[in-house]
Amino acid sequence: MNKKNLKKIRGQLNKFIFNISLPIQQQYMSVKQTVEKAIIPIYHIPLNKKVPIQIATGVLVKIRNEYFLFSASHVFDDIGEKAILTSSGPGIGSKIIELAGERYSSPKGPDGTHLNDPIDASVYHIKTKLPKTLKKLAIGENHLLRNNDFQLYNHHPFYIAAGFRAKKSNTANNIVKSKAEGFLFLEAKEESYQKHKLDNINHICLSYPDQFLVDGESKISPTPKGFSGGGIIGFVSASKDIPLSQVSKMCQQKLIAITIEQRRGDKLNEGILIGTKIEIFMYLVDMCFLDLLDVSRKN
């Protein structure tokens, strides 16, 4: 898809997401979910409570035979040094299990938390032996789109933000009753990056309008509480100018970023969903492997 056509599409569709036609939604949402399968919920037991609640999302990634959970750092402000609670497998009916590990994060903000950390990235190195059901969900490095990889593919102007909304999640007797959701977006306008003092090297901003097209009907956009740490997924293809009817067959998903924040819009400014790009997370992974190498040398 050439730049002229891309600009034309953004100009037509960026204002309201419900202008994205149902056929376009169906094609892109029908692309094989090679990345979405790795989206898992994160739970936490609040103080003075006994039942875990879903507070965020993570993406399960396998790198060099080690397993990691990519998520937003502010998710861990409440969890602290405790082990992560998550689902033992895909979908409703799985058990909530505990995963011990070690976290590598971007620096905290001025207030000593990650709430005002603009990068807000954490990589959780899982040390617990994973059940096979979780291992099958993990994606590899070939599913990640790093900054240097962008020139290798033809990019499409649509993105899926995938995660678990707290409003749609609950548990019963330590059994998961949470379902992942995905919403189709366009990238935000350049002025939105400037207004929010964000750059497109470390971040991606998606246009988050007040209304969505759901099953052909215009609906008020949901509040994505619980989506923090979820995946922002792009679509790439080997060929240019793919007919719409072939998008679902010829495109593939790539993990581009991890969701860290939503900012509502107003009459003058579009709302945005902010993600930190995968390059930052891979830097944190490298820090982990340096530590592992240091430990192995000492032993």
CATH number for the domain that contains residue 65: 2.40.10.10
54, 172: one domain: no
207, 225: one domain: yes
Top-confidence residue, 161 or 93: 161
Confirm whether 111 is domain-assigned.
yes
Q: Is the pLDDT of residue 71 over 90?
A: yes
pLDDT of 163 reads 93
pLDDT of 272 reads 93
Domain termination residue (choose one: 111, 138, 165):
138
Token pair of 15 as six digits: 């204002």
Share of the chain above pLDDT 70, in %: 89
pTM of the model: 0.88
d(CA 36, CA 161) in angstroms, rounded, equals: 9
pLDDT of 110 reads 83
pLDDT of 84 reads 93
63, 31: one domain: no
pLDDT per position as a tens digit, 38-47 = 999 999 988 7
Token pair of 102 as six digits: 């070690």
pLDDT of 97 reads 93
185, 260: one domain: yes
pLDDT of 69 reads 97
Categorize the per-residue pLDDT at 50 as very low, low, confident or very high, splitting at 50, 70 and 90.
confident
Confirm whether 289 is domain-assigned.
no
180, 128: one domain: no
Confirm whether 292 is domain-assigned.
no
pLDDT of 115 reads 81
211, 255: one domain: yes
Which H or E element spans position 297? helix 278-298
Domain termination residue (choose one: 79, 114, 138):
138
171, 85: one domain: no
Overall number of domains in the chain: 2
Categorize the per-residue pLDDT at 4 as very low, low, confident or very high, splitting at 50, 70 and 90.
very low
d(CA 213, CA 5) in angstroms, rounded, equals: 22
d(CA 106, CA 172) in angstroms, rounded, equals: 34
275, 192: one domain: yes
Confirm whether 119 is domain-assigned.
yes
Sign of the dihedral defined by the CA atoms of residues 97, 102, 104, 108, in that order:
positive
CA-only gyration radius of the chain, Å:
19
78, 64: one domain: yes
20, 161: one domain: yes
Confirm whether 48 is domain-assigned.
yes
Confirm whether 298 is domain-assigned.
no
Confirm whether 287 is domain-assigned.
no
Supply the mean pLDDT for the chain: 84
53, 31: one domain: no
Count the neighbouring beta carbons within 10 Å of the beta carbon of residue 3. 7
Categorize the per-residue pLDDT at 8 as very low, low, confident or very high, splitting at 50, 70 and 90.
very low
Contacts of 140 (CB under 8 A, 6+ apart): 61, 62, 63
Highest mean pLDDT among 29-43, 103-117, 201-215, 238-252: 29-43
Confirm whether 11 is domain-assigned.
yes
pLDDT per position as a tens digit, 91-135 = 778 899 999 999 999 998 888 888 888 999 999 999 999 999 999
The boundaries of the domain holding residue 199 are 3-35+144-282
Q: Which amino acid is at 155?
A: H
Token pair of 21 as six digits: 């036609």
Q: Which of 15-24, 54-63, 167-176, 187-196 has the lowest mean pLDDT?
A: 15-24
* Mean pLDDT confidence for 163-174: 82
pLDDT of 15 reads 38
53, 109: one domain: yes
